[in-house]
């Protein structure tokens, strides 16, 4: 019997994602704008790397473009692979504690500073593991969203 044809591995797209943490220990979620896949879902802000960019460079550019802020130091934290029907993405999460500038929702998103459990819904599937990592760090038990 013939072997089944191997499923071609879809190339993962690298995405830089910021976990911004404010002085009160809250983290920032933004809603995905209309017109994008998963519009209205809440996520950590970020976007795809462009050719030749490092994760931190891409994060700095994306947060400038989307939120109008200039980030300071970004600390690489976790990497997660997500397989969506529309894309396979490698999410590079970085923690950010410092930024300058006023938040402007340049893509018509909404922003919300959150603590656990998250009060906004729905959250993007790729966001759920991050909430679990934050919960583990904080010793938070119970549903995260
Ligand atoms: N920004 C962000 N993207 C995430 C998260 N979790 C997650 O699975 N993703 C996925 O990573 C990809 C990011 O792409 P994007 O569409 O936000 O980025 P972009 O602005 O560069 O896209 P575009 O210019 O092609 O529209 C999407 O497929 C999104 O579903 C998250 O927490 N934040």
User: CA-based angle 16:20:25, to the nearest 5?
Assistant: 150
CA 16–ligand 1 middle distance (angstroms): 9
Dist CA 94 CA 54 (whole Å): 12
So what's the ipTM on this one? 0.90
Model pTM score: 0.91
Q: By C-alpha distance, which of 56, 57, 99, 100 is closest to 76?
A: 56
CA 48–ligand 1 middle distance (angstroms): 7
- Domains along the chain with CATH numbers: 13-138 (3.90.79.10)
Averaged over successive runs of 10 residues, the pLDDT of the chain (145 residues) comes to 62 97 98 93 98 98 98 98 93 98 95 98 96 98 97
pLDDT of residue 10: 81
| CB-based burial label for 87 (10 Å; 0-12, 13-18, 19+) | middle
For CA atoms 47, 80, 27, 98, the dihedral sign is negative
Q: Return the residue whose CA atom lies nearest to atom 1 of ligand 1.
A: 46
pLDDT of residue 1: 53
Mutate to test the pocket of ligand 1, among 47, 92, 111 (most ligand atoms within 8 A of CB): 47
What residues contact residue 41 under an 8 Å CB cut-off, 6+ apart?
31, 32, 122, 123, 124, 127
Dist CA 87 CA 12 (whole Å): 8
The pLDDT tens digits of the residues spanning 6-34 come to: 555 689 999 999 999 999 999 999 999 99
pLDDT of residue 7: 58
């Amino acid at each position: 019997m013939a072997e089944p044809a191997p499923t071609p591995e879809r190339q993962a797209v690298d995405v830089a994602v910021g976990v911004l943490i404010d002085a009160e220990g809250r983290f920032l979620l933004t809603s995905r704008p209309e017109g994008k896949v998963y519009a209205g879902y809440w996520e950590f802000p970020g976007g795809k790397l462009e050719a030749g960019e490092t994760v931190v460079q891409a994060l700095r550019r994306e947060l400038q473009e989307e939120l109008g802020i200039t980030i300071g130091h970004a600390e690489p934290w976790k990497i997660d692979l997500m397989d969506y029907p529309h894309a396979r993405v490698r999410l590079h999460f970085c923690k950010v504690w410092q930024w300058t500038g006023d938040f402007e929702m340049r893509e018509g998103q909404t922003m919300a500073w959150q603590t656990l459990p998250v009060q906004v819904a729905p959250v993007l599937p790729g966001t759920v593991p991050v909430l679990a990592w934050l919960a583990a760090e904080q010793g938070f038990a119970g549903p995260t969203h």
